Structure formats: C-alpha cells, structure tokens
Amino acid sequence: MNEEIKKAFDVLVAGGLILYPTDTIWGIGCDATNEDAVRRVYELKKRTDSKALIVLVDNSVKLDFYVDGVPSIAWDLIEVADKPLTIIYDDARNLAPNLIADDGSIAIRVTQEKFSQELCKRFRKAIVSTSANISGEPAPSRFDEISDEIKNGVDYIVNFRQEETSRPKPSGIIKLGKGGEIKIIRE
C-alpha cells in the first residue's frame, strides 16, 4: 500500500489525476487546490463546473482550513456517523475556485478508509473524490465496472483493492446551513 500511496502522491503533486479507492466507491481524484487539475476532472466526466465535486480530508481538524466557520453541529455529526458522511458547508475557502459551488459551498468528507486517509494525510491537502463515471451514467460500485474512457483519462490508476467484489454505496450527504439547519440530500 505504501508504494501505491507514494505513486499517487507524486501524480497529485504534479497536478495529475488519479483513480483510487475511497471509503465509498472508486473515485477520480486530484489536488483540490489546483484549478487546472479540477478542470481536467470536469472534462473527463463531461460535467459542467457548476456542479461541485466532493473533496476528502483525513482529519476533521482540517475542516477549519477549508470552511470559514464550521457549524458546531458538524463536529457532532462527524463523530456519530456510522457510515461515510459528506457534509456540504457554506463559505468554502483555500480551494480551487472552480471546485466551489456557485453559492460558495463545498462538500467535504472526512475519510476513515485506510488508503484514502493515508493519501490525504501524506498529501496534506484536500483531494477531490468524485465517482469514476461519465456524468449522467451510473456510478460504478466496483473497479471492474469503471469504463475504459475513465481509466484512460487519468494519469495513474492505484493498484490497490481492485479485486474487491463488494458493492459499497456512495456516502450520505447533508447540507448544513449557517443557522445550524440540516437538509438531507442523500441518505
């Protein structure tokens, strides 16, 4: 695993795209602070950049760096979540401008999965994590369901957990408003 983390890290530092396992489904990833890399993800997915992407961090402490004023309820939600949880926060900052939604929000998940967590920790920045599919097509739940178009469009495919046959689900998604209101987007 360490060798794969190093290879993926090198590609991220160089501004490239990776295909990697996460705490949910396989994801297309890049440096979440690199506007050109983020643009390449949108192009690969054939997706407009008005639809924001999810980013991963390895530790909830990093939320304060990417969100101006994390609502206090977020810490409780992260602590009690029993499955991967993506939270949409207002007032995103320190990320590529084309990654932030038109309303200034960003979707962030604190990953608990071994590979993606260690990669985020070593990279020391948020990493984009968007489903490995062309926009509008079904999200593949296993590596062997990822299209050749996606595989050929990234700079590196992580050679870890490719043989798994389980069908992980996408994360739950919650939007937190400034006043602490919670809106469930996906359970």
At 85-118, the pLDDT tens digits run 999 999 999 999 999 999 999 999 999 999 999 9
pLDDT of residue 50: 64
pLDDT of residue 40: 97
Structure tokens at 108: 């962030």
**Residue position matching structure tokens 């090198």:** 10
Residues of the chain with confidence (pLDDT) below 70: 50
pTM to 2 decimals?
0.93
Task: Name residue 67's amino acid.
Answer: V
Structure tokens at 4: 């794969």
pLDDT of residue 152: 97
pLDDT of residue 126: 97
Handedness of CA 136, 142, 145, 150 (dihedral sign): positive
Fold category of 2-186 in CATH: DHBP synthase (3.90.870)
Q: What residues contact 70, with CB distance under 8 A and at least 6 apart? A: 63, 64, 89
